[in-house]
A = this chain, B = another copy of it.
């Protein structure tokens, strides 16, 4: 009968759940057990922590409050795997995550299997309300965000080991190809930005609203390694005039002279990639620069970074998706932004100060996760994401 072929909403949900959960495990396949454990800097979390934390999210927000009879896997995991939800009690402070040898990697995989089995049971035996469905989708998107962090954190862990071990010698994910050339122009006027529609979006993409933009031009492609090398050889890192005051402080304190992962080996610039140490391809888009570097480069070019509104308006005409793009916009609430009540309300709003918006997506972003209204955000000094530069004027 034809009805047999129609999947229930819950079955669709379970399929998505399994696919996304599996992806996290696949990302970690090339790792040695030891790679799951370390935390070289505070912004990077150990891979095993990501695996545990995303599982804890489903256990804490879906299973415990909604699945009757659910038995918590381990009482103490809330303390270990809570990231920043003040509502949910005490948590291991961020700088301590790399000191935890236990739970072991295999315990965490057992935890994942246990929660996954319970999620499957829960989705098979229950009709999911709209509210819960929203929370469930948030959980999946949350897991995808951590998949991106998993990859960037793994790169950091291996790329800061003196042996520079590759993640996978055959993985050429970082490649961007030659970028589109030229600028695209837009006339001044009222535009609309922000998410609209029935699908999932984060609260920070709402409300859709009008903005007034001046005439602007925006580059169709991203800045290449060749262009960035020119900036370096023209003294870009030694001329304070291109830098924000705190960017200049960062340059001096960190002795920055090139993007993260670049190494000058026998007079030649090499870069650590997921495939190990490699020659820099001048045609590819530059990566692993922070906001200060992106701004300084733009200033050196006599241009500027686009605002997030300009980016969104122009997005259909741009080549994007390989590098997160620093914008000139601070991460602030849209008109009419509302925090949800309860713990998930802590998701976005409380970070809306002293961070910059990045638009687009990167090669580490799970397929289908981003969209042209998506607002990523990081501190201006951070380089460890796959970040690039688009220019505007």
Interface range on chain A: under 10, 10 to 19, 20 to 34, or 35 or more? Answer: 35 or more
Any B CB within 8 A of the CB of A368: no
**Contact between chains at B336 and A328 (CB < 8 Å):** no
Write the nearest CB–CB distance from A9 to chain B, whole angstroms: 32
**Contact between chains at A246 and B165 (CB < 8 Å):** no
Knowing A32-B101, A161-B100, say if A354 contacts B212 (CB, 8 Å): no
CA distance A208 to B104 in the complex (A): 50
- Partner of A36 from B34, B295, B345 at Cβ < 8 Å: B34
Encode contact with B along A272-294: 1 for CB under 8 Å, 0 otherwise.
00000000000000000001100
**Contact between chains at A212 and B190 (CB < 8 Å):** yes
CA distance A76 to B84 in the complex (A): 39
**Contact between chains at A330 and B332 (CB < 8 Å):** yes
CA distance A161 to B101 in the complex (A): 7
* Inter-chain contacts of A356 with B (CB < 8 A): 353
Write the nearest CB–CB distance from A110 to chain B, whole angstroms: 13
**Contact between chains at B162 and A86 (CB < 8 Å):** no
CA distance A80 to B333 in the complex (A): 42
* Inter-chain contacts of A241 with B (CB < 8 A): 86-87, 345
Any B CB within 8 A of the CB of A350: yes
> Which residue of chain B has its CB nearest to the CB of A103?
B163
Any B CB within 8 A of the CB of A117: no
> Which residue of chain B has its CB nearest to the CB of A247?
B353
Knowing A38-B101, A102-B34, A104-B34, say if A380 contacts B354 (CB, 8 Å): yes
**Contact between chains at A99 and B98 (CB < 8 Å):** yes
- Partner of A38 from B100, B190, B335, B336 at Cβ < 8 Å: B100
Write the nearest CB–CB distance from A162 to chain B, whole angstroms: 6
**Contact between chains at B240 and A86 (CB < 8 Å):** yes
Any B CB within 8 A of the CB of A8: no
CA distance A66 to B248 in the complex (A): 30
Any B CB within 8 A of the CB of A121: no
- Partner of A101 from B34, B80, B244 at Cβ < 8 Å: B34
How many copies of this chain sit in the oligomeric assembly?
Answer: 4
Write the nearest CB–CB distance from A4 to chain B, whole angstroms: 46
* Inter-chain contacts of A100 with B (CB < 8 A): 38, 161-162
Encode contact with B along A27-40: 1 for CB under 8 Å, 0 otherwise.
00000111111111
CA distance A188 to B210 in the complex (A): 10
**Contact between chains at A350 and B76 (CB < 8 Å):** no
* Inter-chain contacts of A92 with B (CB < 8 A): 162
- Partner of A76 from B104, B163, B210, B240 at Cβ < 8 Å: B163
- A 305-364 contacts with B by CB, 8 A: 328-330, 332-333, 335-336, 345, 350-354, 356
CA distance A133 to B35 in the complex (A): 39
* Inter-chain contacts of A158 with B (CB < 8 A): 101-102
**Contact between chains at B351 and A354 (CB < 8 Å):** no
- A 164-209 contacts with B by CB, 8 A: 165, 188, 190, 209
Any B CB within 8 A of the CB of A12: no
Q: Which of A34, A210, A248 has the most CB of B within 10 A?
A: A34
Any B CB within 8 A of the CB of A79: yes
**Contact between chains at B353 and A79 (CB < 8 Å):** no
Write the nearest CB–CB distance from A305 to chain B, whole angstroms: 10
Any B CB within 8 A of the CB of A157: yes
| A interface residues, Cβ below 8 angstroms from B | 32-40, 48, 76, 79-80, 84, 86-87, 92, 96, 98-105, 157-158, 160-163, 165, 188, 190, 209-212, 214, 240-241, 243-248, 291-292, 295, 304, 328-330, 332-333, 335-336, 345, 350-354, 356, 380
Q: A32-B101, A102-B165 are in contact. List 6 more A-B contacts (CB 8 A).
A: A33-B34, A102-B161, A214-B335, A241-B345, A328-B332, A330-B332
